[in-house]
Chain A
Amino acid sequence: MTRKHVLDGVKVLDFSHFVAGPHCTRLMAEAGAEVIKVEAQIGDAARHLPVIKDGRSGYFIQHNRGKKNLCLDLRTKEGQEICHELIKTVDVVIENFTPGVMKKFNMDWEAVSKVNPDVIMCSISCLGQEGPLSKLPGFDYIGQAYSGILGMTGEADGYPALSGMAFGDISTGAHAYGAIVTALYHKAMGGGGQFLDIALLDCLFSYHEMNVQVYDASGGAQVPQRSGHQHAFVAPLGLYKCKEDYLIIVAIGAQWNNLIKLLGKEEWADDPRFADPLVRNENREEISAEIERWLSTVDNVTEAVRILVQENHVPAAPVLSVPEVMSHPHMQQRGIVQTVKDPAFGEVKIPATPLRYSQFPDRLELQAPFLGEHNEEILRDRLGYSAEKISALQTSGVLNAKDI
């Protein structure tokens, strides 16, 4: 059988909103799954995030392409019945409400697994389904604060700094996607349905590739703390200034020798103060001063990176702005910036999916739905509702639709 992509034929019912959940189901839709996004009457809050053009959100488009849309009142018995009937027909249910909300709608795992024991249900939350913090309102930076990520970002003597992108949400969406395909594979191999509890907090905490272990293994002697533009534990690894621009240099392995040669500091090779990356870190001010002294003799950051990388094999990179990334020849050649055509918005540029499959080199043409766009189609074709029944649901306000 020819499939259009790796998840072709997989059916998903998606109750998620904002970013973390929608990013997960976006990845699924991009991999060919059939996603029905269920939105409450007022619609996903992401429909109100900028840029807005004629009521249509570019933000919503980015995170919701390729999904069909059903807009109904989840608080009503009729709305819940429709969802239960749909749950019987799908492989995966996804939601990212605050823990407890799905239970109020009669769609917690206990209820869902009764309706369809083979279903995979993935609950995405900020702080997890249980534990003392689980009921707090959760947003990306709340999870970042509680996972020790914010505490590790920024100058040592100043405020922690926010990262200017949805680090936690996108990450959690990708982890949820990974967990769901794992459960689908397991089910295909003879396992049953199951419940997945994916928390932003857990995902972010797993990014500490060193901090947790270093603190524990040093018996508390090494306390991870933010160090701004330099790495906390190893040197030279950090940001340096070249004229008005910044570049990053990573010279922790064999590249250290290349770097000191370039700096004319060959004598450091035998200096115990620079014996390994950890000791070098204790003397990093001296290293930084030499690097920036050399940088002051170079014309510009592009030239500095060229000399470091091409001539001396020292890993380095210019710090690019988002517009610079978008117009960079490498990104152009690999098609990392994707232009999608929205019926209301026109062209929108978004980051392309980073998952590349040799069997499916082309991206699927996908569009983001209007609110309630597929109400009729889903109720009629999937659930066999009559035209009268559908129009009664419209009249009683269980269903809603709007061109936004």
Chain B
Amino acid sequence: MVPNTMFEGVKVIDFSHYIAGPHCTKMLAEHGAEVIKIEPLTGDPVRQLPMHKDGRSACYVQHNLGKKTMSLDITRPEAQKICHDLIRDADVVVENFSPGVMKRHNMDWQTLKTINPDLVMCSISCFGQDGPLSSLPGYDFIGQSYAGIIDMNGEPDRSPVFADLSFGDVSSGTHAYAAIVSALFHRFRGGKGQHLDLCLQEILFSYHDINVQLYHASGGAYTPKRSGASHDLAAPAGIFKCGERYLFVLALGAQWDKLAKTMGREDMLSDPRFIDLTARGANKAAVNQAVQNWLDSIGDPDQALKILQDERIPSAPVLSVPEVMEHPHTQARNMVRTVNDPVWGALKIPRTPLRFSAFPEIPEQTAGFLGEYNHEILSETLGYSAENIAALETEGVINAKRV
């Protein structure tokens, strides 16, 4: 039988909050998994993040599309029983509490694997489940600091800077997604369930495509350091100004020959200071100045960009987020997705970057209100009686609110 979606029939119980975990389960939902998100009585704290309309957070909507929501007090045995019952019949559990919290609520891997040995459980944390830093409070930029990422951003003689976006969280969500699917594939081929221990710091550390190796293999002679708008080792490879706009220009190998000719600087091609990549890197100030002078002589960024791109010299305008959203290329690829939220109406978010020829469309999805599916799941999935559910409500084990 050909499945109707990538993950038809895959059941996920999601205890995650903020961004990293929810991004992972959002990707699972976008490809057809059935995700039940368990939130505390006060809701996922991301519901407090902007923008808000009538108490509804657009940030929550972006990261929780396609999930059914329950709101339970998992410190209570009744709620833990509900979770265990749901997990018994699930394929995947995802959580991103601080290490130790799931154990406190009787839902650590040791407990869950006895309830469901085929389960794939993924724990996402900032520093991993063990090690001296593991119990620290973890946020994206904390992980970035400990991974040597932030130190690499910014001008050499000034404060480091950080990229104002969720580099670590979205990355971690994606890696967790990949690990979970790998484990599901393994299980389908006869393997057992297992626990996945993914952490932001380690995921971010893997982004050092060159720094770690360079520092070690050079015997410490080269220490990676932030280099602002220009690459530390190669030139031209950096951001230049043309008129009022910033342009990124890169010219390695044969592209450098084309660029020198385009700039009318054939003289540089025979100059020993610029003879190869290493030489140009060592004389990057002079190389970058030549590029800047040429851009100044053109003056108009659109014209400069056209000349460079016609010559197939790698180059791009540094776009703002609104410019990206309106760009014809972005539009042609439907990179900005419009979702319809019951409170917000139309809302724009980034489209998932995974594009499958067998499933070119992304399903229509909304994000659940707090506890929206409490009744449906308790009565239909677990067979609780109306009285039973009402009692849980009265005792404050479950909660619901239109936010």
Contacts and interface: CB of A to CB of B under 8 A. Distances in A.
Interface residues of A, number: 157
A224 B159 contact: no
A116 interface: no
B239 A209 contact: no
Nearest to B170: A207
A323 interface: yes
Given A188-B185, A351-B212, 19 more contacts: A131-B332, A132-B332, A148-B323, A151-B321, A155-B158, A163-B152, A175-B354, A181-B185, A185-B188, A194-B357, A207-B165, A207-B171, A217-B347, A227-B164, A228-B159, A250-B142, A319-B160, A349-B213, A357-B182
Given A145-B319, A212-B336, A213-B51, A139 B109 contact: no
A213 B158 CA distance: 31
B324 A205 contact: yes
Q: Which range holds the interface residue count of chain B?
A: 35 or more
A139 B320 contact: no
A164 interface: yes
A205 B350 contact: yes
Q: Which of B134, B165, B329, B350 has the largest number of chain A CB atoms within 10 A?
A: B165
A368 to B, nearest CB: 12
Contacts of A58: 213-214, 217
Contacts of A234: 49-50
A146 interface: yes
Contacts of A318: 145-146
26 contacts: A130-B332, A132-B332, A145-B316, A148-B320, A152-B165, A161-B153, A182-B6, A182-B7, A183-B6, A185-B184, A196-B357, A207-B166, A210-B50, A223-B321, A225-B320, A228-B154, A239-B162, A253-B45, A277-B49, A322-B223, A325-B148, A326-B215, A330-B132, A336-B202, A345-B217, A355-B175
**What are the nearest 10 A-B pairs in CB distance?**
A164-B152, A202-B353, A209-B166, A166-B209, A178-B178, A145-B316, A349-B216, A216-B348, A317-B145, A159-B229
B344 A322 contact: no
A312 B208 CA distance: 32
B132 A329 contact: yes
Interface string A178-218: 11011111101111101111110111011111111111111
Nearest to A219: B51
B335 interface: yes
B190 interface: yes
A92 interface: no
A246 B159 contact: yes
A337 B237 CA distance: 28
Interface stretch (A45-53, A82-90, A370-378): A45-53
Contact of A133 (B233, B314, B329): B329
B93 to A, nearest CB: 13
B59 interface: yes
A147 interface: yes
B210 A49 contact: yes
A184 B72 CA distance: 35
A101 interface: no
Interface string A322-341: 11111011110110110000
A140 to B, nearest CB: 9
A214 B59 CA distance: 8
A25 B358 CA distance: 22
Interface in A9-31: 9, 19, 23, 27, 31
Given A147-B324, A195-B357, A351-B208, A181 B181 contact: yes
Given A171-B207, A182-B181, A194-B358, A334 B202 contact: yes
Contacts of A203: 353
Given A186-B3, A194-B358, A229-B162, A171 B214 contact: no
A196 B356 contact: yes
A383 interface: no
Contacts of B255: 137
Nearest to B204: A354
Interface stretch (B100-108, B193-201, B295-303, B368-376): B193-201
A220 B322 contact: yes
B150 interface: yes
B51 A218 contact: yes
Nearest to B177: A178
Contact of A174 (B134, B178, B318): B178
A128 interface: yes
A64 B216 CA distance: 18
A170 B180 CA distance: 19
Contacts of A7: 182, 185-186
B192 A359 contact: yes
A124 to B, nearest CB: 11
A348 to B, nearest CB: 6
A71 interface: no
B220 interface: yes
Nearest to A278: B50
A188 B189 contact: yes
Contacts of B309: 136
A166 B207 contact: yes
Contacts of A358: 109, 194-197
Given A218-B51, A325-B148, A334-B128, A198 B353 contact: yes
